[in-house]
Amino acid sequence: MPTLDWLNKAQALKAAAQVPYRLIEPQSIHGDPAADNWLIQGDNLDALKALLPFFAGRVKCIYIDPPYNTRSAFEHYDDNLEHSQWLSMMVPRLELLRELLSEDGSIWVSIDDNEGHYLKVVMDEVFGRTNFVANVVWQKRVSPANDAKYFSSDHDYVVAYAKIKEYWAPNRLPRTDRQNSYYRNPDNDPRGAWNSVTYTGNKTRAERPNLYYEIRNPFTGDAVWPPDTLTWRYGQETHTQNEAQNLLYWGKRGTSKIPRFKMFLTDAEPTVPRSVWSAGECGSTQTSMTEQKALFQNAFGTPKPELLLSRILQIATQQDDLVLDSFLGSGTTAAVAHKMGRRWIGIEMGEHAQTHCLPRLQKVIDGEQGGISEAVGWKGGGGFRFATLGKPAFLPDGGIDPSIGFDTLAAWVWYQETRTPWERNKVGARGGTPLLGVHEGTAYYLLYNGILGDRRPAGGNVLTGKVLQAIKDIVPHAGPKVVFGESCRLSASRLGANELRFRQIPYDIRAR
Ligand SMILES: C[S@@+](CC[C@H](N)C(=O)[O-])C[C@H]1O[C@@H](n2cnc3c(N)ncnc32)[C@H](O)[C@@H]1O
């Protein structure tokens, strides 16, 4: 496959693997303390890596609106990277985002013409060309920018990829009043309003001779044949039923040359998403600025309208699905996800994580009525946690930072071994036992921070005969076992007899 090359691409491809694993440090809880929504302040490269052990493969929909590289310095962030640097910034983040997506998940990226075409090529590399779904054109501007030197730039793109296209299906969209307004009832059909489609088929006479036959106009009695080389839409038997059910329309006075076929509004399906989204349907930058002014004294400069996000979440998620935005800006994605009953994680590195996102999301919990609130009947409720990023879990020499708790190390070890997220409520840390869980028949145990209490020498972190017995008593598992601990005092034959492999902390744990 042809690929894009740029200065320092090789480093960019290694960057995601080289980012240290950091702690997420909860700072405050807002609203319902049981809610598992997260607002994280920090560089998203670090934050995404920190989320992997807990959320890999769990996110149903990712929306990001990264800096477009417009050579601008906005009030709240700079948007002026050298072209290669922009690509090198995006690639490792896209790689981590891909790991966080569920198999039936999708990613949506807002972009414009500055980097859009390069982004498409890079996303082909990261997500696979076959997983490309659409390059949506969103009409961001209604009236032209007459001061533009060349063209008034009236649209942005939203580039969408599925993690695995065969496992992903878009939700159909509810019908709008405008779409329904095309259904009328000129013949007072008791079944209600209808729209009509052509009664000719898309095959030629040569291909389907059985669809070429004479029908009669009931008003004039004239014999009528399919025009040109065409055929009718249905065979003769179905046509007779259609006539009996009054499904053919010959015009108000029966004067049409060929009939049309009636389709009733009551049978109309929700609609398939289309690739051009008008400002009327999804809002414009003007809509989002109006939303900002109602929310903040100091409006964020480059927000997206809530309607645009609600369109994406309508297509790509269901109630309770997890939504992630790692370039959160003023918090639009999180606010919309919350109002639509989705779970969410938002990451923003700027101070506006605290000056904009946090108060905005607090307002949402309190029942804020701007944006999509009225349309979704939002009344308030729910909650979220605000967190920052802590220090790396591993020291430069590979050792473990002494302040690292059991949960943090457990999640990392589990993820490194299984490539699946660690569930905090699994038997293990919460139950005060060293079992992290069982994956494909193998049980994983972690002896760390004295998890076994007083049954231990050297803080319970050494695998001795006693500790092995304690493990077997507390969490029996017939089958292969892997134990991570400080050291092991069991002989190779005893390990073998117990189907046990020992891994030494920290040397056998990959720090990155
Ligand atoms: C275009 S804005 C997003 C606007 C957002 N969609 C909204 O509706 O408010 C891009 C945001 O990405 C943030 N950002 C840029 N680089 C980042 C990084 N490495 N980690 C986290 N956030 C970053 C910027 O601070 C800025 O707030």
In the chain the domains, ranked by start, together with CATH numbers, are 34-172+272-391 (3.40.50.150), 177-267 (no CATH), 406-504 (no CATH)
Give residue 459's pLDDT: 56
Atom of ligand 1 nearest to the CA of 288: 8
Quick: pLDDT tens for 130-152.
999 999 999 999 999 999 999 99
Tell me if 302 CB under 6 Å of ligand 1. Answer: yes
Write out the two tokens for 419: 């490539």
Tell me if 329 CB under 6 Å of ligand 1. Answer: yes
Give, for 364, the enclosing helix (H) or strand (E): helix 358-365
Rounded Cα distance between 162 and 134, Å, is: 10
Tell me if 292 CB under 6 Å of ligand 1. Answer: no
Beta bridge partners of 173: 271
Tell me if 42 CB under 6 Å of ligand 1. Answer: no
Q: Is the pLDDT of residue 512 over 80?
A: no
371, 294 contact by CB (below 8 A): no
Quick: pLDDT tens for 450-471.
666 544 445 578 898 988 888 8
Q: Of 323, 349, 351, 355, which is best to mutate to test ligand 1, by the most ligand atoms within 8 angstroms of its C-beta? A: 349
Write out the two tokens for 211: 């669809």
Rounded Cα distance between 140 and 153, Å, is: 9
Tell me if 43 CB under 6 Å of ligand 1. Answer: yes
Which residue from 165, 136, 162, 128 is spatially nearest to 60, judged by alpha carbons?
162
Quick: pLDDT tens for 18-70.
999 998 899 999 999 999 999 999 999 999 999 999 999 999 999 999 999 88
E strand segments, 284-382: 322-325, 343-348
Atom of ligand 1 nearest to the CA of 74: 26
Rounded Cα distance between 416 and 509, Å, is: 8
HSE-CB of 504 using CA atoms within 13 angstroms: 7
- Per DSSP bridges, beta strands 481-485 and 276-277 are unpaired
Write out the two tokens for 381: 């409720």
> CA end-to-end span of the chain, whole Å?
29
Rounded Cα distance between 200 and 193, Å, is: 22
Q: Is the pLDDT of residue 425 over 60?
A: no
Residue 353 alpha carbon to ligand 1 centre in Å: 10
Band (pLDDT 50/70/90 cuts) for residue 509 is confident
Give residue 432's pLDDT: 67
Identify the residue whose C-alpha is closest to ligand 1 atom 19: 43
Location of structure tokens 């690929």: 3
Residue 73 alpha carbon to ligand 1 centre in Å: 13
Tell me if 348 CB under 6 Å of ligand 1. Answer: yes
- Per DSSP bridges, beta strands 72-73 and 78-79 are antiparallel
Q: Is the pLDDT of residue 210 over 80?
A: yes
Planar angle of CA 201, 204, 209, nearest 5 degrees: 95
Identify the residue whose C-alpha is closest to ligand 1 atom 12: 327
Residue 407 alpha carbon to ligand 1 centre in Å: 29
Render 426-450 in DSSP notation, one character per residue: SSSTTTTSSEEEEETTEEEEE--TT
- Single-letter residue type at 334: A
Determine the average pLDDT of the residues in 313-336. 98
How big is the chain, counted in residues? 512
Give residue 398's pLDDT: 79
Residue 355 alpha carbon to ligand 1 centre in Å: 14
Give residues with Cβ within 8 angstroms of 421, minimum separation 6: 52, 53, 54, 55, 56, 57, 58, 411, 414, 415
- The answer to whether the Cα torsion of 431, 436, 440, 441 is positive or negative is negative
Which residue from 335, 297, 329 is spatially nearest to 313, judged by alpha carbons?
335
Q: Of 22, 72, 77, which is best to mutate to test ligand 1, by the most ligand atoms within 8 angstroms of its C-beta? A: 77
88, 8 contact by CB (below 8 A): yes
Residue 328 alpha carbon to ligand 1 centre in Å: 5
Tell me if 349 CB under 6 Å of ligand 1. Answer: yes
Sheet holding 248-249, edge to edge: 194-198, 260-264, 248-249
Identify the residue whose C-alpha is closest to ligand 1 atom 27: 329
Rounded Cα distance between 5 and 88, Å, is: 11
Give residue 456's pLDDT: 46
320 φ, ψ (degrees, to nearest 5): 75, -5
Comparing 56-65, 266-275, 342-351, 470-479, which segment has the lowest mean pLDDT? 470-479
Atom of ligand 1 nearest to the CA of 44: 20
Tell me if 406 CB under 6 Å of ligand 1. Answer: no
Comparing 196-205, 237-246, 296-305, 458-467, which segment has the lowest mean pLDDT? 458-467
Location of structure tokens 């002026």: 80
Residue 494 alpha carbon to ligand 1 centre in Å: 55
Q: Please give the mean pLDDT across all residues of the chain.
A: 92
Q: Is the pLDDT of residue 94 over 70?
A: yes
Tell me if 394 CB under 6 Å of ligand 1. Answer: no
Determine the average pLDDT of the residues in 273-293. 97
Rg (CA), the chain: 30
Give residue 454's pLDDT: 46
Give residue 151's pLDDT: 97
Strand, coil or helix: what is 106? strand
Beta bridge partners of 30: 384
Residue 339 alpha carbon to ligand 1 centre in Å: 21
Neighbouring C-beta atoms of residue 240, cutoff 10 Å: 12
The percentage of residues in the chain with a pLDDT greater than 70, rounded to a whole number, is: 96
139, 276 contact by CB (below 8 A): yes
Rounded Cα distance between 144 and 326, Å, is: 31
Chain centre to alpha carbon of residue 443: 31
Q: Is the pLDDT of residue 249 over 90?
A: yes
- The answer to whether the Cα torsion of 83, 88, 90, 95 is positive or negative is positive
254, 220 contact by CB (below 8 A): yes
299 φ, ψ (degrees, to nearest 5): -60, 140
Which residue from 456, 417, 403, 404 is spatially nearest to 434, judged by alpha carbons?
456
Identify the residue whose C-alpha is closest to ligand 1 atom 26: 329
Sheet holding 481-485, edge to edge: 435-439, 442-446, 481-485, 500-504
Chain centre to alpha carbon of residue 270: 22
Q: Is the pLDDT of residue 216 over 60?
A: yes
Beta bridge partners of 477: none
Tell me if 468 CB under 6 Å of ligand 1. Answer: no
- Per DSSP bridges, beta strands 248-249 and 260-264 are antiparallel
